[in-house]
Copies of this chain bind each other. A is one copy, B any other.
Amino acid sequence: MHKLYATYGSGNCYKVQLLMHQIGIPFTVKNIDVLKGETKSEAYLAINPNGKVPFLSLENGETIGESNAMLQHLAHGTHLTPESHFDRIKMFEWMLWEQSSHEPNISPARFMIAILPELREANKDRIAEWQQKGNKALGIMNNYLAKHDWLAGEKYSIADISLYGYTHVAHEGEFDMDQYPHIQAWMARVAETPNYISMPEIMQDLLKAA
């Protein structure tokens, strides 16, 4: 069975859990507590020298880092990978954009506001910069979703799962989602897809595994 190393509350970990739940891939989870420094432990670095979560150990012994590479492997050949070549290129584009322009701003702002608020005051200038850049990213998504139901082609795909991970918790980083009605409508569509499971629901597995 595949084994996912993950930490509670991480949007990058949730993406992978959501996909496996939606397409019915059984997996176990191992809780790695980032706040306790467990990603930097000797034991974990022996598993993943990059020292990050999520990290996926496949049942054939291979491993994959990078949440969006996991999505591409696990969804390969399923209805959640776009069929046409160019829709897959748009999927890659959104996933690369997520890692370069979206997650690096929304995730740390949320982390220092909602997860470790004791860091907030000392980092207020950086948080302001992340919020400014994160709002730019959300504006781009909102404009795109004004004209399209889904991000890559005409159907729900792993491009949507990738962007949903941190977008649906952006309000925890004090991003005003009322500014983005088309994102809100898209998030409601995602939550209605078959076998959808929320972050708190599936993260319960991690607490049980801890």
Contacts and interface: CB of A to CB of B under 8 A. Distances in A.
A129 to B, nearest CB: 11
A78 interface: no
A29 B54 CA distance: 39
Contacts of A62: 86
Nearest to A12: B100
A41 interface: no
A156 B66 CA distance: 21
Interface in A88-135: 89-90, 92-93, 95-97, 99-101, 103-104
Given A69-B96, A95-B96, A100-B100, A140 B49 contact: yes
A85 B89 contact: no
Given A72-B92, A76-B85, A92-B72, A97 B49 contact: no
Copies in the complex: 2
A89 B140 CA distance: 27
Contacts of A101: 50
Contact of A89 (B49, B73, B97): B73
A50 B92 CA distance: 16
A65 interface: yes
Contacts of A72: 89, 92
Contacts of A65: 93, 97
A69 B69 CA distance: 13
Residues of A in contact with B, size category: 20 to 34
A100 B92 contact: no
B49 A69 contact: no
Interface string A58-80: 00001011101100110010000
A86 B69 CA distance: 10
Contacts of A50: 97, 101, 140
A28 interface: no
Nearest first, the 8 closest Cβ-Cβ pairs linking A and B are A69-B93, A66-B96, A69-B92, A99-B100, A73-B89, A66-B93, A99-B99, A68-B96
